[in-house]
Amino acid sequence: MQKSPLQIARQSYQPKMPQALRSSLQIKEGAKTQSVADQEEIQRLFPNTYGMPVLTFEATDNADSQATKTNAINVGVILSGGQAPGGHNVICGMFDALKAINPDNQLYGFLGGPSGLIEGQYQLLTGNIIDDYRNTGGFDIIGSGRTKLEETWQFDKGIEVCNKLGISAIVIIGGDDSNTNACVLAEYYKQKNCGIQVIGCPKTIDGDLKNEMIETSFGFDTACKVYSELIGNIQRDANSAKKYWHFIRLMGRSASHIALECALQSQPNVCLISEEVEAKNMTLNDIVEEIAQVVVERAKAGLNFGTVLIPEGLIEFIPAMRTLIQELNDLLADNAAFTSLEGDEAKREYIKLKLTDASRELYRSLPKAIAKQLTMDRDPHGNVQVSLIETEKLLIEMVSKRLAQLKAEGSYVGKFSTQHHFFGYEGRCAIPSNFDADYCYSLGQTAVRLIQAGKTGYMSVIRNLTAPAAEWIAAGIPITMMMNMERRNGKLKPVIQKALVDLKGKPFRYLEENRAEWADANTSYIYPGPIQYYGPSEVCDQPTKTLVLEHTCK
Protein backbone atom coordinates (compact mmCIF):
# COMPACT_ATOMS: atom_id res chain seq x y z
CA MET A 1 0.00 0.00 0.00
CA GLN A 2 1.10 3.58 -0.59
CA LYS A 3 1.95 5.53 2.56
CA SER A 4 2.21 9.20 3.40
CA PRO A 5 5.39 10.49 5.07
CA LEU A 6 3.47 10.80 8.35
CA GLN A 7 2.26 7.19 8.14
CA ILE A 8 5.80 5.99 7.43
CA ALA A 9 7.11 7.96 10.40
CA ARG A 10 4.32 6.78 12.68
CA GLN A 11 5.01 3.15 11.80
CA SER A 12 8.27 3.34 13.75
CA TYR A 13 6.67 4.87 16.86
CA GLN A 14 7.11 2.59 19.87
CA PRO A 15 4.01 2.81 22.06
CA LYS A 16 4.55 3.43 25.74
CA MET A 17 2.86 1.06 28.18
CA PRO A 18 2.66 0.23 31.90
CA GLN A 19 5.90 -0.89 33.44
CA ALA A 20 4.18 -4.01 34.78
CA LEU A 21 3.51 -5.23 31.23
CA ARG A 22 7.23 -5.17 30.50
CA SER A 23 7.97 -7.55 33.37
CA SER A 24 7.04 -10.95 34.72
CA LEU A 25 3.54 -10.61 36.14
CA GLN A 26 1.51 -11.75 39.06
CA ILE A 27 -2.24 -11.39 39.40
CA LYS A 28 -3.79 -9.64 42.37
CA GLU A 29 -7.46 -10.52 42.91
CA GLY A 30 -9.85 -7.98 44.34
CA ALA A 31 -13.22 -8.52 45.96
CA LYS A 32 -16.04 -10.38 44.26
CA THR A 33 -18.17 -8.17 42.04
CA GLN A 34 -21.85 -7.75 41.27
CA SER A 35 -23.71 -6.15 38.37
CA VAL A 36 -24.44 -2.44 38.40
CA ALA A 37 -28.17 -3.18 38.66
CA ASP A 38 -30.68 -6.06 38.47
CA GLN A 39 -28.28 -8.34 40.35
CA GLU A 40 -30.56 -11.34 40.76
CA GLU A 41 -31.60 -11.41 37.10
CA ILE A 42 -28.04 -10.89 35.78
CA GLN A 43 -26.71 -13.63 38.07
CA ARG A 44 -29.44 -15.96 36.87
CA LEU A 45 -28.55 -15.29 33.24
CA PHE A 46 -24.77 -15.51 33.77
CA PRO A 47 -24.23 -18.13 36.50
CA ASN A 48 -20.77 -19.12 35.25
CA THR A 49 -19.26 -15.65 34.81
CA TYR A 50 -21.07 -13.62 37.49
CA GLY A 51 -19.38 -12.38 40.66
CA MET A 52 -15.78 -12.84 39.51
CA PRO A 53 -13.16 -10.55 41.11
CA VAL A 54 -11.41 -7.56 39.59
CA LEU A 55 -7.87 -8.53 38.55
CA THR A 56 -4.79 -6.32 38.67
CA PHE A 57 -1.48 -7.19 37.03
CA GLU A 58 1.64 -6.37 39.03
CA ALA A 59 5.31 -6.78 38.26
CA THR A 60 7.14 -9.61 40.03
CA ASP A 61 10.65 -11.02 40.13
CA ASN A 62 9.19 -14.52 40.02
CA ALA A 63 9.57 -15.84 36.48
CA ASP A 64 7.12 -18.64 37.35
CA SER A 65 4.35 -16.25 38.31
CA GLN A 66 0.74 -17.39 38.20
CA ALA A 67 0.18 -15.60 34.85
CA THR A 68 2.86 -17.63 33.08
CA LYS A 69 1.65 -20.09 30.47
CA THR A 70 4.03 -20.94 27.65
CA ASN A 71 2.24 -23.60 25.59
CA ALA A 72 1.58 -22.39 22.05
CA ILE A 73 -1.97 -21.06 21.57
CA ASN A 74 -4.07 -19.68 18.73
CA VAL A 75 -6.15 -16.56 19.39
CA GLY A 76 -8.87 -14.91 17.28
CA VAL A 77 -9.67 -11.20 17.22
CA ILE A 78 -12.84 -9.40 16.10
CA LEU A 79 -13.36 -5.69 15.40
CA SER A 80 -17.03 -4.94 16.08
CA GLY A 81 -19.17 -1.86 15.49
CA GLY A 82 -18.09 1.58 14.31
CA GLN A 83 -14.49 2.50 13.75
CA ALA A 84 -12.42 4.24 16.42
CA PRO A 85 -8.81 5.44 16.26
CA GLY A 86 -6.44 2.94 17.85
CA GLY A 87 -8.13 -0.34 16.94
CA HIS A 88 -5.12 -1.44 14.92
CA ASN A 89 -2.85 -0.85 17.92
CA VAL A 90 -4.95 -3.16 20.08
CA ILE A 91 -4.28 -5.90 17.54
CA CYS A 92 -0.58 -4.97 17.33
CA GLY A 93 -0.32 -5.14 21.12
CA MET A 94 -1.96 -8.57 21.09
CA PHE A 95 0.35 -9.83 18.34
CA ASP A 96 3.53 -8.62 20.05
CA ALA A 97 2.47 -10.06 23.42
CA LEU A 98 1.59 -13.43 21.90
CA LYS A 99 4.89 -13.69 20.03
CA ALA A 100 6.89 -12.58 23.09
CA ILE A 101 5.31 -15.37 25.14
CA ASN A 102 5.85 -18.01 22.48
CA PRO A 103 6.89 -17.39 18.83
CA ASP A 104 4.64 -20.30 17.81
CA ASN A 105 1.50 -18.51 19.04
CA GLN A 106 -0.82 -17.49 16.20
CA LEU A 107 -3.27 -14.60 15.83
CA TYR A 108 -6.24 -14.92 13.48
CA GLY A 109 -8.36 -11.93 12.47
CA PHE A 110 -12.02 -12.64 11.73
CA LEU A 111 -13.02 -10.59 8.69
CA GLY A 112 -15.91 -8.15 8.59
CA GLY A 113 -16.73 -8.22 12.28
CA PRO A 114 -18.62 -10.91 14.24
CA SER A 115 -19.99 -12.38 11.01
CA GLY A 116 -16.44 -13.55 10.21
CA LEU A 117 -16.56 -15.86 13.24
CA ILE A 118 -19.91 -17.32 12.22
CA GLU A 119 -19.06 -17.70 8.54
CA GLY A 120 -15.47 -18.85 9.01
CA GLN A 121 -13.97 -15.86 7.20
CA TYR A 122 -10.53 -15.17 8.64
CA GLN A 123 -6.94 -14.19 7.97
CA LEU A 124 -3.77 -15.33 9.72
CA LEU A 125 -2.07 -12.14 10.89
CA THR A 126 1.66 -12.26 10.24
CA GLY A 127 4.42 -9.86 11.21
CA ASN A 128 4.47 -8.31 7.73
CA ILE A 129 0.75 -7.57 7.89
CA ILE A 130 0.88 -6.22 11.43
CA ASP A 131 3.82 -3.90 10.68
CA ASP A 132 1.84 -2.17 7.93
CA TYR A 133 -0.85 -1.14 10.42
CA ARG A 134 1.11 -0.01 13.48
CA ASN A 135 -0.14 3.33 14.84
CA THR A 136 -2.60 3.81 11.98
CA GLY A 137 -6.26 4.76 12.07
CA GLY A 138 -9.17 2.74 10.76
CA PHE A 139 -10.27 -0.87 11.07
CA ASP A 140 -9.23 -1.93 7.57
CA ILE A 141 -6.71 -4.55 8.70
CA ILE A 142 -9.59 -7.05 9.02
CA GLY A 143 -12.69 -4.88 8.69
CA SER A 144 -15.58 -4.49 11.11
CA GLY A 145 -19.31 -5.20 11.20
CA ARG A 146 -22.43 -4.94 13.35
CA THR A 147 -23.68 -8.53 13.35
CA LYS A 148 -25.10 -9.33 16.78
CA LEU A 149 -23.99 -12.53 18.49
CA GLU A 150 -27.15 -13.52 20.34
CA GLU A 151 -28.41 -16.78 18.85
CA THR A 152 -27.37 -20.28 19.96
CA TRP A 153 -26.71 -21.38 16.40
CA GLN A 154 -24.23 -18.49 16.03
CA PHE A 155 -22.37 -19.55 19.17
CA ASP A 156 -22.19 -23.14 17.95
CA LYS A 157 -20.87 -22.07 14.53
CA GLY A 158 -18.21 -20.11 16.39
CA ILE A 159 -17.16 -23.25 18.26
CA GLU A 160 -16.96 -25.15 14.98
CA VAL A 161 -14.77 -22.48 13.34
CA CYS A 162 -12.50 -22.10 16.39
CA ASN A 163 -12.01 -25.85 16.67
CA LYS A 164 -11.05 -25.97 12.99
CA LEU A 165 -8.37 -23.31 13.55
CA GLY A 166 -7.30 -24.53 16.97
CA ILE A 167 -8.37 -21.22 18.52
CA SER A 168 -8.73 -21.29 22.29
CA ALA A 169 -9.50 -17.60 22.91
CA ILE A 170 -11.36 -14.76 21.19
CA VAL A 171 -10.90 -11.03 21.82
CA ILE A 172 -13.85 -8.82 20.83
CA ILE A 173 -12.95 -5.16 20.37
CA GLY A 174 -16.09 -3.04 20.53
CA GLY A 175 -18.49 -0.77 22.38
CA ASP A 176 -21.22 -1.52 24.89
CA ASP A 177 -23.34 -3.67 22.55
CA SER A 178 -20.30 -5.58 21.24
CA ASN A 179 -19.03 -6.26 24.74
CA THR A 180 -22.52 -7.35 25.76
CA ASN A 181 -22.16 -9.92 22.97
CA ALA A 182 -18.75 -10.88 24.38
CA CYS A 183 -20.32 -11.41 27.80
CA VAL A 184 -23.08 -13.63 26.40
CA LEU A 185 -20.58 -15.60 24.30
CA ALA A 186 -18.24 -16.11 27.28
CA GLU A 187 -21.09 -17.43 29.41
CA TYR A 188 -22.24 -19.85 26.72
CA TYR A 189 -18.75 -21.21 26.03
CA LYS A 190 -18.09 -21.57 29.75
CA GLN A 191 -21.38 -23.41 30.18
CA LYS A 192 -20.53 -25.71 27.28
CA ASN A 193 -17.01 -26.22 28.66
CA CYS A 194 -15.69 -25.99 25.08
CA GLY A 195 -12.31 -24.53 26.03
CA ILE A 196 -12.74 -21.14 24.32
CA GLN A 197 -12.07 -18.00 26.36
CA VAL A 198 -13.67 -14.65 25.48
CA ILE A 199 -12.13 -11.27 26.38
CA GLY A 200 -13.58 -7.83 25.65
CA CYS A 201 -11.90 -4.50 24.90
CA PRO A 202 -13.55 -1.05 25.44
CA LYS A 203 -13.96 0.90 22.18
CA THR A 204 -16.21 3.81 21.24
CA ILE A 205 -15.48 7.39 20.29
CA ASP A 206 -18.79 8.37 21.93
CA GLY A 207 -17.13 7.93 25.34
CA ASP A 208 -20.18 6.25 26.87
CA LEU A 209 -18.42 2.99 27.78
CA LYS A 210 -16.94 4.12 31.07
CA ASN A 211 -17.40 3.62 34.79
CA GLU A 212 -15.33 3.65 37.96
CA MET A 213 -13.06 0.96 36.48
CA ILE A 214 -12.97 2.07 32.81
CA GLU A 215 -11.69 5.65 32.79
CA THR A 216 -12.25 6.16 29.07
CA SER A 217 -12.97 4.15 25.94
CA PHE A 218 -10.35 4.17 23.24
CA GLY A 219 -10.72 6.48 20.24
CA PHE A 220 -12.45 9.19 22.29
CA ASP A 221 -9.20 11.11 22.78
CA THR A 222 -8.27 11.18 19.09
CA ALA A 223 -11.76 11.89 17.78
CA CYS A 224 -12.27 14.80 20.17
CA LYS A 225 -8.89 16.27 19.23
CA VAL A 226 -9.79 16.03 15.54
CA TYR A 227 -13.18 17.68 16.09
CA SER A 228 -11.70 20.33 18.39
CA GLU A 229 -9.14 21.24 15.75
CA LEU A 230 -11.95 21.74 13.22
CA ILE A 231 -14.00 23.77 15.71
CA GLY A 232 -10.93 25.89 16.49
CA ASN A 233 -10.36 26.51 12.79
CA ILE A 234 -14.00 27.56 12.38
CA GLN A 235 -13.80 29.86 15.40
CA ARG A 236 -10.67 31.50 14.05
CA ASP A 237 -12.45 32.04 10.74
CA ALA A 238 -15.50 33.45 12.54
CA ASN A 239 -13.32 35.77 14.55
CA SER A 240 -11.65 36.89 11.31
CA ALA A 241 -14.66 37.26 9.02
CA LYS A 242 -16.94 38.37 11.87
CA LYS A 243 -20.11 37.44 10.02
CA TYR A 244 -21.28 33.86 10.62
CA TRP A 245 -22.88 31.90 13.42
CA HIS A 246 -21.69 28.29 13.03
CA PHE A 247 -24.02 25.54 14.30
CA ILE A 248 -21.92 22.38 14.71
CA ARG A 249 -23.49 18.98 15.39
CA LEU A 250 -21.10 16.42 16.91
CA MET A 251 -21.27 12.62 16.89
CA GLY A 252 -22.56 10.91 20.02
CA ARG A 253 -26.06 9.45 19.96
CA SER A 254 -26.82 8.62 23.57
CA ALA A 255 -24.36 10.79 25.46
CA SER A 256 -22.87 14.27 25.12
CA HIS A 257 -19.31 13.39 26.12
CA ILE A 258 -17.87 14.47 22.75
CA ALA A 259 -19.69 17.81 22.77
CA LEU A 260 -18.58 18.44 26.36
CA GLU A 261 -14.93 17.53 25.70
CA CYS A 262 -14.80 19.65 22.53
CA ALA A 263 -16.27 22.57 24.47
CA LEU A 264 -13.60 22.19 27.15
CA GLN A 265 -10.93 22.24 24.44
CA SER A 266 -12.28 25.10 22.30
CA GLN A 267 -14.54 27.28 24.51
CA PRO A 268 -17.47 27.92 22.12
CA ASN A 269 -20.14 30.54 22.75
CA VAL A 270 -22.83 27.90 23.32
CA CYS A 271 -22.57 24.19 24.07
CA LEU A 272 -25.76 22.21 24.53
CA ILE A 273 -25.62 19.11 26.74
CA SER A 274 -28.42 16.61 26.14
CA GLU A 275 -28.40 15.30 29.70
CA GLU A 276 -28.83 18.85 31.06
CA VAL A 277 -31.73 19.50 28.68
CA GLU A 278 -33.46 16.39 29.95
CA ALA A 279 -32.75 17.12 33.62
CA LYS A 280 -34.16 20.64 33.30
CA ASN A 281 -37.18 19.38 31.32
CA MET A 282 -36.39 21.92 28.60
CA THR A 283 -38.59 22.33 25.57
CA LEU A 284 -37.35 22.98 22.05
CA ASN A 285 -38.46 26.60 22.49
CA ASP A 286 -36.42 26.84 25.70
CA ILE A 287 -33.29 25.79 23.81
CA VAL A 288 -34.02 28.22 20.98
CA GLU A 289 -34.53 31.05 23.47
CA GLU A 290 -31.23 30.26 25.20
CA ILE A 291 -29.30 30.43 21.93
CA ALA A 292 -31.18 33.52 20.75
CA GLN A 293 -30.31 35.44 23.92
CA VAL A 294 -26.58 34.74 23.44
CA VAL A 295 -26.88 35.95 19.83
CA VAL A 296 -28.66 39.12 21.01
CA GLU A 297 -26.09 39.92 23.70
CA ARG A 298 -23.15 39.45 21.35
CA ALA A 299 -24.88 41.59 18.72
CA LYS A 300 -25.08 44.45 21.23
CA ALA A 301 -21.27 44.42 21.26
CA GLY A 302 -21.17 44.33 17.46
CA LEU A 303 -20.30 40.62 17.33
CA ASN A 304 -22.61 39.00 14.80
CA PHE A 305 -20.79 35.69 14.85
CA GLY A 306 -20.21 32.72 17.12
CA THR A 307 -20.27 28.95 17.54
CA VAL A 308 -22.92 26.58 18.88
CA LEU A 309 -22.04 22.95 19.66
CA ILE A 310 -24.89 20.43 19.45
CA PRO A 311 -24.75 16.77 20.52
CA GLU A 312 -26.03 14.37 17.87
CA GLY A 313 -28.64 12.82 20.19
CA LEU A 314 -30.03 16.11 21.53
CA ILE A 315 -33.45 15.73 19.98
CA GLU A 316 -34.20 12.50 21.89
CA PHE A 317 -33.37 14.16 25.23
CA ILE A 318 -35.99 16.90 24.85
CA PRO A 319 -38.86 15.31 26.82
CA ALA A 320 -41.66 16.40 24.46
CA MET A 321 -39.61 15.39 21.40
CA ARG A 322 -38.87 12.01 22.97
CA THR A 323 -42.60 11.44 23.44
CA LEU A 324 -43.25 12.40 19.82
CA ILE A 325 -40.48 10.10 18.56
CA GLN A 326 -41.81 7.19 20.61
CA GLU A 327 -45.30 7.71 19.20
CA LEU A 328 -43.81 7.78 15.70
CA ASN A 329 -41.77 4.63 16.38
CA ASP A 330 -44.93 2.80 17.46
CA LEU A 331 -47.01 4.23 14.65
CA LEU A 332 -44.55 3.44 11.86
CA ALA A 333 -43.64 -0.09 12.97
CA ASP A 334 -44.73 -2.42 10.15
CA ASN A 335 -47.31 0.13 9.02
CA ALA A 336 -48.30 -0.85 5.48
CA ALA A 337 -50.97 1.86 5.33
CA PHE A 338 -48.35 4.58 5.85
CA THR A 339 -45.78 3.17 3.42
CA SER A 340 -48.42 2.80 0.70
CA LEU A 341 -49.22 6.52 0.76
CA GLU A 342 -47.82 8.62 -2.06
CA GLY A 343 -46.38 12.07 -1.48
CA ASP A 344 -44.95 13.78 1.61
CA GLU A 345 -48.10 15.80 2.29
CA ALA A 346 -50.34 12.71 2.40
CA LYS A 347 -47.96 11.03 4.83
CA ARG A 348 -47.79 14.18 6.94
CA GLU A 349 -51.58 14.42 7.22
CA TYR A 350 -51.84 10.70 8.05
CA ILE A 351 -49.37 11.10 10.91
CA LYS A 352 -51.11 14.16 12.34
CA LEU A 353 -54.37 12.21 12.59
CA LYS A 354 -52.71 9.44 14.61
CA LEU A 355 -50.73 11.47 17.16
CA THR A 356 -51.86 12.62 20.60
CA ASP A 357 -52.83 16.28 20.87
CA ALA A 358 -49.52 17.45 22.42
CA SER A 359 -47.37 15.53 19.95
CA ARG A 360 -49.51 16.71 17.03
CA GLU A 361 -48.93 20.35 17.97
CA LEU A 362 -45.20 19.78 18.30
CA TYR A 363 -45.08 17.91 14.98
CA ARG A 364 -46.93 20.77 13.26
CA SER A 365 -44.45 23.31 14.66
CA LEU A 366 -41.43 21.58 13.17
CA PRO A 367 -39.97 22.58 9.80
CA LYS A 368 -41.31 20.17 7.20
CA ALA A 369 -37.84 18.86 6.34
CA ILE A 370 -37.20 17.90 9.98
CA ALA A 371 -40.67 16.39 10.39
CA LYS A 372 -39.97 14.23 7.34
CA GLN A 373 -36.61 13.11 8.74
CA LEU A 374 -38.39 11.91 11.88
CA THR A 375 -40.39 9.47 9.74
CA MET A 376 -37.49 7.95 7.81
CA ASP A 377 -36.58 4.25 8.02
CA ARG A 378 -35.88 3.02 11.56
CA ASP A 379 -32.68 1.32 12.75
CA PRO A 380 -32.58 -2.45 13.57
CA HIS A 381 -33.94 -1.67 17.07
CA GLY A 382 -36.97 0.12 15.58
CA ASN A 383 -35.68 3.55 16.67
CA VAL A 384 -35.32 6.78 14.72
CA GLN A 385 -31.84 7.22 13.22
CA VAL A 386 -30.75 10.42 14.94
CA SER A 387 -27.69 10.79 12.72
CA LEU A 388 -30.12 11.51 9.85
CA ILE A 389 -31.89 14.30 11.73
CA GLU A 390 -30.25 17.62 10.94
CA THR A 391 -30.74 19.19 14.37
CA GLU A 392 -28.36 22.00 13.51
CA LYS A 393 -30.64 23.09 10.63
CA LEU A 394 -33.70 22.82 12.86
CA LEU A 395 -32.14 25.12 15.44
CA ILE A 396 -30.91 27.58 12.82
CA GLU A 397 -34.41 27.93 11.38
CA MET A 398 -36.09 28.27 14.75
CA VAL A 399 -33.50 30.70 16.17
CA SER A 400 -33.81 32.79 12.98
CA LYS A 401 -37.58 33.03 13.46
CA ARG A 402 -37.17 34.00 17.10
CA LEU A 403 -34.62 36.69 16.23
CA ALA A 404 -37.00 38.08 13.63
CA GLN A 405 -39.62 38.44 16.39
CA LEU A 406 -37.10 40.16 18.66
CA LYS A 407 -36.06 42.49 15.84
CA ALA A 408 -39.70 43.42 15.26
CA GLU A 409 -39.96 44.22 18.97
CA GLY A 410 -36.84 46.39 18.75
CA SER A 411 -34.72 44.26 21.12
CA TYR A 412 -32.37 42.87 18.47
CA VAL A 413 -30.44 44.89 15.92
CA GLY A 414 -27.87 42.40 14.67
CA LYS A 415 -27.43 40.32 11.53
CA PHE A 416 -27.85 36.54 11.75
CA SER A 417 -26.01 34.72 8.96
CA THR A 418 -25.32 31.04 9.55
CA GLN A 419 -23.32 28.01 8.49
CA HIS A 420 -24.08 24.44 9.53
CA HIS A 421 -21.76 21.45 10.05
CA PHE A 422 -21.87 17.82 11.17
CA PHE A 423 -18.63 16.28 12.44
CA GLY A 424 -18.77 12.51 12.67
CA TYR A 425 -16.90 10.41 10.17
CA GLU A 426 -14.06 12.94 10.15
CA GLY A 427 -12.84 11.60 13.50
CA ARG A 428 -13.54 7.86 13.40
CA CYS A 429 -10.49 6.72 11.44
CA ALA A 430 -7.92 9.41 12.22
CA ILE A 431 -4.31 8.45 12.91
CA PRO A 432 -4.45 7.85 16.68
CA SER A 433 -2.97 10.38 19.07
CA ASN A 434 0.00 9.27 21.15
CA PHE A 435 -2.43 8.72 24.02
CA ASP A 436 -4.67 6.39 22.02
CA ALA A 437 -1.70 4.65 20.37
CA ASP A 438 -0.22 3.92 23.81
CA TYR A 439 -3.55 3.13 25.47
CA CYS A 440 -4.70 0.74 22.76
CA TYR A 441 -1.39 -1.09 22.55
CA SER A 442 -1.55 -1.60 26.32
CA LEU A 443 -5.15 -2.85 26.08
CA GLY A 444 -4.04 -5.46 23.54
CA GLN A 445 -1.14 -6.55 25.72
CA THR A 446 -3.44 -6.82 28.73
CA ALA A 447 -5.99 -8.88 26.80
CA VAL A 448 -3.29 -11.46 26.07
CA ARG A 449 -2.26 -11.51 29.75
CA LEU A 450 -5.86 -12.30 30.66
CA ILE A 451 -5.83 -15.15 28.15
CA GLN A 452 -2.51 -16.37 29.60
CA ALA A 453 -4.10 -16.46 33.01
CA GLY A 454 -6.96 -18.63 31.73
CA LYS A 455 -9.65 -15.97 32.25
CA THR A 456 -12.90 -15.55 30.35
CA GLY A 457 -15.76 -13.06 30.51
CA TYR A 458 -13.32 -10.26 31.37
CA MET A 459 -12.65 -6.90 29.78
CA SER A 460 -9.12 -5.62 29.29
CA VAL A 461 -8.68 -2.38 31.25
CA ILE A 462 -5.93 0.23 31.71
CA ARG A 463 -6.28 2.67 34.60
CA ASN A 464 -4.48 5.68 36.15
CA LEU A 465 -4.48 7.27 32.70
CA THR A 466 -3.54 10.82 33.72
CA ALA A 467 -0.18 9.56 34.98
CA PRO A 468 2.79 8.83 32.68
CA ALA A 469 2.22 5.61 30.72
CA ALA A 470 4.82 3.70 32.74
CA GLU A 471 2.61 4.24 35.81
CA TRP A 472 -0.61 3.06 34.19
CA ILE A 473 -2.29 0.06 35.82
CA ALA A 474 -3.17 -3.01 33.75
CA ALA A 475 -6.29 -4.84 34.94
CA GLY A 476 -9.20 -7.03 34.00
CA ILE A 477 -12.81 -6.55 35.08
CA PRO A 478 -15.74 -8.99 34.76
CA ILE A 479 -18.06 -7.76 32.03
CA THR A 480 -21.06 -8.86 34.12
CA MET A 481 -20.33 -6.11 36.67
CA MET A 482 -21.34 -3.51 34.03
CA MET A 483 -24.61 -5.21 33.07
CA ASN A 484 -28.21 -4.26 33.71
CA MET A 485 -31.57 -5.12 32.17
CA GLU A 486 -32.99 -2.80 29.49
CA ARG A 487 -35.92 -3.00 27.12
CA ARG A 488 -34.85 -3.68 23.55
CA ASN A 489 -37.39 -4.36 20.78
CA GLY A 490 -40.09 -4.78 23.41
CA LYS A 491 -38.14 -7.31 25.51
CA LEU A 492 -35.97 -7.00 28.60
CA LYS A 493 -32.40 -7.94 27.75
CA PRO A 494 -29.08 -7.87 29.60
CA VAL A 495 -26.88 -5.07 28.27
CA ILE A 496 -23.92 -3.00 29.43
CA GLN A 497 -25.16 0.21 31.03
CA LYS A 498 -24.28 3.32 29.01
CA ALA A 499 -22.50 6.12 30.84
CA LEU A 500 -24.12 9.51 30.24
CA VAL A 501 -22.62 12.88 31.17
CA ASP A 502 -22.66 13.25 34.95
CA LEU A 503 -24.19 16.65 35.69
CA LYS A 504 -22.55 16.58 39.13
CA GLY A 505 -19.18 15.63 37.66
CA LYS A 506 -16.23 18.00 37.43
CA PRO A 507 -16.09 18.29 33.62
CA PHE A 508 -19.72 19.45 33.34
CA ARG A 509 -19.38 21.71 36.37
CA TYR A 510 -16.39 23.39 34.73
CA LEU A 511 -18.48 24.06 31.61
CA GLU A 512 -21.33 25.34 33.75
CA GLU A 513 -19.03 27.71 35.65
CA ASN A 514 -17.43 29.14 32.50
CA ARG A 515 -20.15 29.12 29.83
CA ALA A 516 -21.32 32.67 30.58
CA GLU A 517 -17.81 34.02 30.10
CA TRP A 518 -17.39 32.05 26.85
CA ALA A 519 -20.68 33.49 25.55
CA ASP A 520 -19.99 37.15 26.28
CA ALA A 521 -18.39 39.84 24.15
CA ASN A 522 -14.87 39.12 25.35
CA THR A 523 -13.97 36.42 22.86
CA SER A 524 -12.31 33.55 24.70
CA TYR A 525 -11.94 31.01 21.93
CA ILE A 526 -9.16 28.45 22.07
CA TYR A 527 -7.62 27.17 18.85
CA PRO A 528 -6.33 23.67 19.72
CA GLY A 529 -4.65 23.04 16.35
CA PRO A 530 -3.86 19.59 14.89
CA ILE A 531 -2.85 16.52 16.86
CA GLN A 532 0.85 16.70 17.71
CA TYR A 533 2.75 13.42 17.38
CA TYR A 534 6.27 14.72 17.99
CA GLY A 535 7.59 17.20 20.51
CA PRO A 536 7.39 17.83 24.26
CA SER A 537 5.32 15.39 26.29
CA GLU A 538 3.07 18.17 27.57
CA VAL A 539 2.07 18.84 23.96
CA CYS A 540 1.97 15.31 22.54
CA ASP A 541 0.88 12.97 25.33
CA GLN A 542 -1.93 14.82 27.08
CA PRO A 543 -5.18 12.95 27.80
CA THR A 544 -8.56 14.60 27.35
CA LYS A 545 -9.66 17.57 29.43
CA THR A 546 -12.42 15.32 30.75
CA LEU A 547 -9.93 12.85 32.20
CA VAL A 548 -7.75 15.59 33.67
CA LEU A 549 -10.71 17.28 35.36
CA GLU A 550 -12.08 13.98 36.68
CA HIS A 551 -8.72 13.09 38.23
CA THR A 552 -7.09 16.34 39.32
CA CYS A 553 -9.73 18.94 40.22
CA LYS A 554 -10.75 19.42 43.82
> Where exactly are the structural domains of the chain?
15-219+432-488, 220-428+504-535
Residue among 422, 474, 487 at smallest CA distance from 25 = 474
- % residues pLDDT > 70 (the chain): 96
Pairing, β 418-423 against β 106-110:
unpaired
Whether 157 contacts 145, CB under 8 Å:
no
Report the pLDDT value the prediction gives residue 219, as an integer from 0 to 100. 97
Question: Is residue 69 predicted with pLDDT exceeding 60?
Answer: no
DSSP track, 427-450: HHTSPPPHHHHHHHHHHHHHHHHH
Report the pLDDT value the prediction gives residue 522, as an integer from 0 to 100. 81
Examine domains 15-219+432-488 and 220-428+504-535 and report if their fold is the same.
yes
Report the pLDDT value the prediction gives residue 378, as an integer from 0 to 100. 65
* pLDDT tens track for 250-288: 998 889 999 999 999 999 999 999 999 999 999 999 999
DSSP 122: E
* pLDDT tens track for 145-203: 999 898 999 999 999 999 999 999 999 999 999 999 999 999 999 999 999 999 999 99
Band (63; pLDDT cuts 50, 70, 90): low
Mean pLDDT over each residue of the chain, to the nearest integer = 93
Report the pLDDT value the prediction gives residue 269, as an integer from 0 to 100. 97
Report the pLDDT value the prediction gives residue 521, as an integer from 0 to 100. 82
Q: Which residues contact 401 (CB under 8 A, 6 or more apart)?
A: none
Instruction: Say how far apart CA 367 and CA 159 lie, in whole Å.
Output: 52
Instruction: Say how far apart CA 415 and CA 305 lie, in whole Å.
Output: 9
Whether 438 contacts 15, CB under 8 Å:
yes
Mean of pLDDT values over 118-142: 97
Instruction: Say how far apart CA 279 and CA 254 lie, in whole Å.
Output: 14
Question: Is residue 68 predicted with pLDDT exceeding 70?
Answer: no
Report the pLDDT value the prediction gives residue 380, as an integer from 0 to 100. 60
For domain 220-428+504-535, give the CATH number. Answer: 3.40.50.460
* pLDDT tens track for 290-299: 999 999 999 9
Question: Is residue 382 predicted with pLDDT exceeding 70?
Answer: no
Instruction: Say how far apart CA 389 and CA 199 lie, in whole Å.
Output: 35
Report the pLDDT value the prediction gives residue 523, as an integer from 0 to 100. 74
Question: Is residue 50 predicted with pLDDT exceeding 70?
Answer: yes
Whether 250 contacts 311, CB under 8 Å:
yes
Report the pLDDT value the prediction gives residue 553, as an integer from 0 to 100. 55
Question: Is residue 554 predicted with pLDDT exceeding 50?
Answer: no
- 473 C-beta neighbours (distance < 10 Å), count: 17
Length of the chain: 554
What do you get for the CA distance between the two ends of the chain, in Å?
49
Report the pLDDT value the prediction gives residue 336, as an integer from 0 to 100. 83
Report the pLDDT value the prediction gives residue 67, as an integer from 0 to 100. 45
Residue among 138, 86, 43, 35 at smallest CA distance from 442 = 86
Q: Which of 103-112, 294-303, 464-473, 520-529 has the lowest mean pLDDT?
A: 520-529
Instruction: Say how far apart CA 443 and CA 471 lie, in whole Å.
Output: 14
What's the CATH fold of domain 15-219+432-488? Rossmann fold (3.40.50)
Mean of pLDDT values over 394-413: 96
Q: Could you give the angle at the alpha carbon of 238 between the alpha carbons of 246 and 544, nearest 5°?
A: 70
Residues with catalytic annotation?
206
Report the pLDDT value the prediction gives residue 287, as an integer from 0 to 100. 97
Question: Is residue 241 predicted with pLDDT exceeding 70?
Answer: yes
Mean of pLDDT values over 362-391: 79
